[in-house]
Chain A
Amino acid sequence: MRFAVAHKTSSYLMVGCAMLAMITGGAVSPVAILVGVVGLIGSWWWEPPRVRIERWTLAWNLLSILVLVWAVSTAVLTGDFLGVGGDFLIWLVVAKAFNRRASRDWQQLYLLSFLMLVAGSVLNDDLTYGVAFLGFVLASTWALILSHLRREMEDNFLLKHADDRSERVEVRRILQSRRIVDLRFFAGTGVMSLGVFVLASALFLTIPRVGAGFFMKARQGQTFAGFSDGVKLGGHGTIKDDDTIVMRVEIQAPYRGRDAPYVHWRGVAFDEYSHGEWRRTRRAPTTRAAIDRDGPRHETRYWMYQRDDDVTFRELEAERDGAVRHHVWLEPLGSDVLFTASMPLAVELDVPARPGRARATRNDEQRLRHDGGIRYTVWSKIEPPPAALLRAAPKVLPRGFEAYLQLPPEITPRTRALARRITDGLTNDYDRARAIERWLRDNLSYTLELADPGDQEPVDFFLFDRKAGHCEYFASAFAILARAVGVPTRNVNGFLGGEWNEYDSYIAVRAGDAHSWNEVYFAGQGWVTFDATPASQDRLGRGGSGIGARLRRFFDTLRFQWFKWVVDYDLGRQVGFFKDVGRWFKRQAARVAGAYRATVRVALDHAIALAAIVVLAGALLVRRALRRRRRDGGARPPPRHRDRSTMAALYGRALRRLARRGLPRDPATTPRELAHAAAARGLPCAAALAELTELYYAAEWGGAVTGPELDRARDLVADIERALDAAS
């Protein structure tokens, strides 16, 4: 490849990657993206001699001033300094790309692309940034090397010396040369940039995360359509399935694998129902949690579930240890709710540096203000207590739990009558709840097509007229029917199940997995999950095993790893990582020590045989050495082969040049005869050849060759070549 083309291509690749890293975050305006992409592509051809760039300088300067004025005014008016700054940066890159002339312009372009990468680190934390960054590392290695070579060429290389003066040589000719960079150069530097990337990754993992986070701006999320912090029945239309991943969960067996059962990921819970809407009220009991703080930014919260306050952390920990542990990576949801597998016992998390005022939560919700994604560990008791225990639970309601029996006056008599009819003859709350759950599943159907109930009470409309609905209808109907027969019930929103990712062994929960269900209180046993919605699927392997589905899961793994190891990498994770590394080394050391001990044991067991082998091998070596000495007559070893062969190579080079100039050496001619022949012909190099011949004889048959002799031979060969070239 021509040098100039290689330099330009790698530089554009570098700028392109940096731009990609910034614009894929979504914070840069579409107009700026269009200008950036089109401008960058267009500038490829905008260069001398096709265009006289200096003619356009004034126009570009005026345009840049206009864009600056626009950027400042827009930023002040909208307050979006970051986004507008990104737009302006794109303009600067395009302007510079159109005005590049010398090495200095290229360097400014590199600086601007680095700034785009810095801006991208704030505007885009997606995997696309990682991909663009990898491309940037590769391209920047090429671009910076070639830029350096170009600069050196322009600055100090192209001087042609003569005895009396020095003159500059045409730069353009060298820039068009194909001999400076070739495929090997690109491959070698490509491998090197891979090394740079690995080293950068290692440094990234190693640099201690002691950041104060004063100006921390974490990932900003969007609120997903699937999950809602409230429930309002009565809407109409079609609920769309949203594939966006909202959280990823690493969980213990038996809840992992494609055949694992669905888990309810509990988020928010409601106590009051009124006019088709569920709310959290002040009458509802507050979430009771015992908090164990480990350092200023790390804590474990234990759900108390109406336990006595004097319970010790040791007891809570003992209870926790028997539960199912899972790690949750929650995407930015625009909500402060923490999702946990039902029913949670404890959650351990890093508290952000600026938590703000803690909000009192109710209905056993856990909330924590976080600006972006968050990671935490949960211990949950997923399996409900045995039915016998629940049946035997006494009908005692703790203080404040009346809220879970609330029924609004608009609930129709036929609804209440239906509840009584379903539970007729049943003697305990568990059987009543199960009967209601079963009736709803058996008699009503699931649909995502929403119908407008008009003025009719939504639950009544669902139970008697529409007879079909989505999970919120089923959950609301269950709660109303259960409360109607005195069973303390609350409505819960969260996610159900998810998709098992076999590449990295986690459950990916999507926005479309949003779900609504119920919890029923049993004295002495706590809250138990009831889900009246007819199940369409209940296994994690729902995504299928086709190539498309597998690819989708594979890319999600990459994204997960990106967030897990890069975006959300913190001090805790760093400490854990190095502990893992330390443990690995310890294991390897133990393995090596074990192998050593085993070897020593074997050696000791067969000491005599081993000694015999060593003696035999030693004797063979001594015999061989003696034989060699006898054969060589005790002479000193011959000089190093390399020296002789270097001289031979030099002589061979001279021979080849002579042969090309019509004086080949046939096999019967000795080197001295050839030298005489050259002298007889009057060749200008005859004297040099004669001297070289003697040096060659001395090297081949006269023993060791000294450095100066080799140097002299090199000079002679150069003289011969020069003389032959001049003669031709």
Chain B
Amino acid sequence: MTRAAKRPGLLRRLMRPPRRLTFTREGRYFVVVAVGVGVGAINTGNNLLYLLLGWTLSFIIASGILSERNLRGLVVRRRPPARIFAGQPFLMEIAVENAKAKRASYSIEIEDLLGGRPLDKKCYFLKIPPGKTQRTSYRHTFARRGLYTLDGYRVATKFPFALFRKSRDLETPGEVLVYPPLVGVPRPSPQARRAGETTSARLGRRGEFFGLREWRQGDDRRDVHWKSTARSGRLLVREYEDELTRRAVVVVDNALPADTLAAVDADDVDAATTAHLDALERAISVGASLAAAYLEAGWGVQVVARGQHVPMGVGKPQLARVLRALALLPAVADDVPFERFDPRIDSVLVAPRGLTLGNRPPRVGQVMEA
């Protein structure tokens, strides 16, 4: 199930103060000392204590001004890794550019904001010289797959005197897609009887003409069926029988019982619901792993689920498509039918263990319960 973090509402964003200021331990002591000196000055009339009071107050004011200048002119960018899997740590690169012409920024903390709240990790920059960019990474793990919307950054500093921690939020929305985790699964062996196998052996490299399909990245240009292309206005290529021999359809059952879905919608998640959700996540994870295993072995893979369909494809681009689709695959009711797929191709149905669901495809090669 996708757990996309919600961005805070407009009103909440408008109401948010431009800066947050919290006392540090030293800051609390400093203020107590300043109050003490103030009381002493008023009680004794000792002008030198008034002078000290003036110093403590001006120190606090200077601290506010300098921290403000320290936070200004910073441009933050993040660079997530190419693929992020749920449950696996990854490194998020954070780059901070000091766009100020002359002044360095010191002691800068950067936190990524997810749902208006900072992640548990922060990046610290001791000094960012003027006009320079510095990079560092934080290590983080997303527990579940889905599309995460990072709202922006919280840029904070305790500079110059560590009396206060001042922070400002920079709104730089960015999305991070977290794939389902890949687990080690046995790749089911192809079924023994296959008419196409003998045919393809007989007809040679290209096999027997099987049909037409839409052109995909990587297809041979010689296979374009120009007449049909001209007629339909879409680029169509010939499909041969031998391509079916190393193909698989991974069918993922993304249905949940109606009462489980209702409980999730009502945010009334009990142990049984959690078990159902976990089973679904496992099924999706196994489906993704299976697809990855087939693709790595050079097979063409098609992924089919209820209301979702990833057309047949091969190689790394197909893996990206499959992972993206499974990362975003929603849970649906079991009255939603599966997308259609060619029954002649090897197929594996991955279903959540322990769930009795209707509307299953009538003819699948094998069934795996996860």
B59 within 8 A of A: yes
Q: Identify B46's interface contact among A137, A149, A217, CB under 8 A.
A: A217
- In the complex, the answer to whether B61 meets A210 with C-beta atoms within 8 Å is no
- In the complex, the answer to whether B54 meets A204 with C-beta atoms within 8 Å is yes
B285 to chain A, nearest CB (A): 21
B150 to chain A, nearest CB (A): 15
- In the complex, the answer to whether B61 meets A107 with C-beta atoms within 8 Å is no
- In the complex, the answer to whether B41 meets A211 with C-beta atoms within 8 Å is yes
CB contacts (< 8 Å) of B161 on chain A: these are: 144-145, 148
A87 within 8 A of B: no
- In the complex, the answer to whether B45 meets A209 with C-beta atoms within 8 Å is yes
B316 within 8 A of A: no
A243 within 8 A of B: no
Q: Identify B51's interface contact among A107, A133, A152, CB under 8 A.
A: A133
A448 within 8 A of B: no
- In the complex, the answer to whether A148 meets B124 with C-beta atoms within 8 Å is no
B216 within 8 A of A: no
- In the complex, the answer to whether A145 meets B47 with C-beta atoms within 8 Å is no
CB contacts (< 8 Å) of A151 on chain B: these are: 162
Q: Once bound together, how far apart are the Cα atoms of A213 and B43, in whole Å?
A: 5
B203 to chain A, nearest CB (A): 39
A249 to chain B, nearest CB (A): 22
A296 to chain B, nearest CB (A): 15
Q: Identify A714's interface contact among B41, B50, B133, B139, CB under 8 A.
A: B133
CB contacts (< 8 Å) of B40 on chain A: these are: 118
A214 within 8 A of B: yes
Q: Evaluate whether A161 and B79 lie within 8 angstroms (CB atoms) in the complex, with A216-B44, A714-B133 already known.
A: no
- In the complex, the answer to whether A121 meets B51 with C-beta atoms within 8 Å is yes
Complex interface: stretch among A89-97, A564-572, A663-671, A679-687: A564-572
- In the complex, the answer to whether B107 meets A152 with C-beta atoms within 8 Å is yes
A62 within 8 A of B: no
A166 within 8 A of B: yes
A570 to chain B, nearest CB (A): 8
B206 within 8 A of A: no
B222 to chain A, nearest CB (A): 27
A271 within 8 A of B: no
Q: Which partner residue on chain A sits nearest B41 by CB separation?
A: A211
B106 within 8 A of A: yes
- In A88-130, the 8 Å CB interface with B consists of 107, 111, 114, 117-118, 120-122, 125, 129
B138 within 8 A of A: yes
- In the complex, the answer to whether B62 meets A195 with C-beta atoms within 8 Å is yes
- In B10-51, the 8 Å CB interface with A consists of 26, 29, 33, 37, 40-51
Q: Once bound together, how far apart are the Cα atoms of A715 and B29, in whole Å?
A: 44
B147 within 8 A of A: no
B368 within 8 A of A: no
A548 within 8 A of B: no
Q: Which partner residue on chain B sits nearest A715 by CB separation?
A: B79
CB contacts (< 8 Å) of A107 on chain B: these are: 26
- In the complex, the answer to whether B159 meets A148 with C-beta atoms within 8 Å is yes
Q: Once bound together, how far apart are the Cα atoms of A129 and B57, in whole Å?
A: 19
Contact flags (1/0) for A166-196 with B, using CB distance below 8 Å? Answer: 1000000010000110000100110010011
Contact flags (1/0) for B137-174 with A, using CB distance below 8 Å? Answer: 11100000000000000000011111000000000000
- In the complex, the answer to whether A200 meets B127 with C-beta atoms within 8 Å is no
B212 within 8 A of A: no
A199 within 8 A of B: yes
- In A123-170, the 8 Å CB interface with B consists of 125, 129, 133, 137, 141, 144-145, 147-149, 151-153, 156-157, 161, 163-164, 166
Q: Which partner residue on chain A sits nearest B77 by CB separation?
A: A711
B89 within 8 A of A: yes
Q: Identify A204's interface contact among B45, B50, B138, B162, CB under 8 A.
A: B50
- In the complex, the answer to whether B53 meets A203 with C-beta atoms within 8 Å is yes
CB contacts (< 8 Å) of B95 on chain A: these are: 714, 718
Q: Once bound together, how far apart are the Cα atoms of A163 and B50, in whole Å?
A: 55
Q: Which partner residue on chain B sits nearest A206 by CB separation?
A: B54
CB contacts (< 8 Å) of B45 on chain A: these are: 209, 211-213, 216, 570
Residue with the greatest number of chain B CB neighbours at <10 A, chosen from A153, A161, A188: A161
Residue with the greatest number of chain B CB neighbours at <10 A, chosen from A129, A141, A196: A196
Q: Once bound together, how far apart are the Cα atoms of A418 and B54, in whole Å?
A: 67
- In the complex, the answer to whether B44 meets A199 with C-beta atoms within 8 Å is no
Q: Which partner residue on chain A sits nearest B69 by CB separation?
A: A192
CB contacts (< 8 Å) of B138 on chain A: these are: 161
A291 to chain B, nearest CB (A): 24
B127 to chain A, nearest CB (A): 6
- In the complex, the answer to whether A122 meets B42 with C-beta atoms within 8 Å is no
- In the complex, the answer to whether B51 meets A204 with C-beta atoms within 8 Å is yes
Q: Evaluate whether A114 and B33 lie within 8 angstroms (CB atoms) in the complex, with A121-B46, A188-B103 already known.
A: yes
B244 to chain A, nearest CB (A): 35
Contact flags (1/0) for B111-143 with A, using CB distance below 8 Å? Answer: 000000000001010110000010111110000
Q: Once bound together, how far apart are the Cα atoms of A419 and B103, in whole Å?
A: 85
- In B163-187, the 8 Å CB interface with A consists of none
Q: Once bound together, how far apart are the Cα atoms of A179 and B51, in whole Å?
A: 36
A361 to chain B, nearest CB (A): 27
CB contacts (< 8 Å) of B57 on chain A: these are: 200, 203
- In the complex, the answer to whether B59 meets A196 with C-beta atoms within 8 Å is yes
B58 within 8 A of A: yes
- In the complex, the answer to whether B55 meets A137 with C-beta atoms within 8 Å is yes
Q: Once bound together, how far apart are the Cα atoms of A200 and B160, in whole Å?
A: 17
CB contacts (< 8 Å) of B107 on chain A: these are: 148-149, 152
CB contacts (< 8 Å) of B61 on chain A: these are: 199
B336 within 8 A of A: no
Contact flags (1/0) for B205-227 with A, using CB distance below 8 Å? Answer: 00000000000000000000000
A215 within 8 A of B: yes
CB contacts (< 8 Å) of A210 on chain B: these are: 42
- In the complex, the answer to whether A163 meets B91 with C-beta atoms within 8 Å is yes
CB contacts (< 8 Å) of B357 on chain A: these are: none
CB contacts (< 8 Å) of B26 on chain A: these are: 107
B201 within 8 A of A: no
B52 within 8 A of A: yes
A659 to chain B, nearest CB (A): 21
B333 within 8 A of A: no
- In the complex, the answer to whether B160 meets A144 with C-beta atoms within 8 Å is yes
B141 to chain A, nearest CB (A): 11
Q: Evaluate whether A207 and B50 lie within 8 angstroms (CB atoms) in the complex, with A148-B158, A180-B126 already known.
A: yes
- In the complex, the answer to whether B46 meets A216 with C-beta atoms within 8 Å is yes
B66 within 8 A of A: yes
CB contacts (< 8 Å) of B106 on chain A: these are: 145, 149
Q: Identify A196's interface contact among B29, B47, B58, B122, CB under 8 A.
A: B58
A645 to chain B, nearest CB (A): 13
Q: Evaluate whether A212 and B89 lie within 8 angstroms (CB atoms) in the complex, with A107-B26, A157-B126, A207-B53 already known.
A: no
- A-B contacts, 14 of them at CB < 8 A, read A148-B162, A163-B91, A185-B104, A192-B62, A192-B66, A195-B62, A197-B58, A204-B47, A207-B53, A214-B43, A214-B44, A217-B44, A714-B77, A714-B133
Top 9 A-B residue pairs of the complex, sorted by shortest distance between their CB atoms: A121-B48, A211-B45, A199-B58, A203-B54, A204-B54, A148-B162, A200-B54, A213-B45, A200-B58
| A-B contacts besides A161-B138, A200-B57, 9 pairs, CB < 8 Å | A145-B161, A148-B107, A163-B91, A163-B139, A179-B127, A180-B126, A189-B160, A216-B45, A217-B44
Measuring CB to CB, which residues of chain A are less than 8 angstroms from any residue of chain B?
A: 107, 111, 114, 117-118, 120-122, 125, 129, 133, 137, 141, 144-145, 147-149, 151-153, 156-157, 161, 163-164, 166, 174, 179-180, 185, 188-189, 192, 195-197, 199-204, 207, 209-217, 566-570, 711, 714-715, 718
Measuring CB to CB, which residues of chain B are less than 8 angstroms from any residue of chain A?
A: 26, 29, 33, 37, 40-55, 57-59, 61-62, 66, 77, 79, 89-91, 95, 103-104, 106-107, 122, 124, 126-127, 133, 135-139, 158-162
